[in-house]
């Protein structure tokens, strides 16, 4: 079992839909949780960063961490075609600075 599991998709939704992207993990030492967005032929771009459990909102994006279930989510409201990209979750254990990445979920938002 991999430390971080992420469904590669693709996930196809109509414009305006609410998108839910998820990762599960097995290492209870993970303390820091991140979401990156990667457009085709570009490097990953940091979207959201949270520490421990709870929610964090930034515009149309909400990151949610449930440490008891070892489950994190990224919600995108009012999705746009420009949101079409691969979304990678990443997690770092306490005392480290090295993230473990998920495989990424490909999101397609069609007009």
Partner 1 sequence: SAVISQKPSRDICQRGTSLTIQCQVDSQVTMMFWYRQQPGQSLTLIATANQGSEATYESGFVIDKFPISRPNLTFSTLTVSNMSPEDSSIYLCSVARGSSYEQYFGPGTRLTVT
Can you give the binding site for partner 1, defined by CB under 8 A?
4, 6, 8, 32, 34, 36, 41-46, 49, 88, 90, 92, 97-104
User: Which C-beta is closer to partner 1: that of 10 or that of 16?
Assistant: 10
Paired with 74 in beta bridges are: 21, 63
The 10 Å Cβ neighbour count of residue 90 is 21
Query: Which residue carries 């938002």 as its tokens?
Result: 109
Q: Which two tokens stand for residue 3?
A: 């430390």
User: Which C-beta is closer to partner 1: that of 73 or that of 100?
Assistant: 100
Is 33 in contact with 27 (CB distance < 8 Å)? no
Tell me whether strands 54-58 and 45-51 are parallel, antiparallel or unpaired: unpaired
User: Which C-beta is closer to partner 1: that of 17 or that of 93?
Assistant: 93
Q: In the bound complex, what is the minimum distance in angstroms from residue 87's beta carbon to partner 1?
A: 12
Q: In the bound complex, what is the minimum distance in angstroms from residue 111's beta carbon to partner 1?
A: 27
User: Which C-beta is closer to partner 1: that of 79 or that of 107?
Assistant: 107
């Amino acid at each position: 079992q991999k430390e971080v599991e992420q469904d590669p998709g693709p996930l196809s939704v109509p414009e305006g839909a609410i998108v839910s992207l998820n990762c599960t993990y097995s290492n209870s030492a993970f303390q820091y949780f991140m979401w990156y967005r990667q457009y085709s032929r570009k490097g990953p771009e940091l979207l959201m960063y949270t520490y421990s459990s709870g929610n964090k909102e930034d515009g149309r994006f909400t990151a949610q961490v449930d440490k008891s279930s070892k489950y994190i989510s990224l919600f995108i409201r009012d999705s746009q075609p420009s949101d079409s990209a691969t979304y990678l979750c990443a997690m770092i254990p306490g005392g480290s600075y090295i993230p473990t990445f998920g495989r990424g979920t490909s999101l397609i938002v069609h007009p």
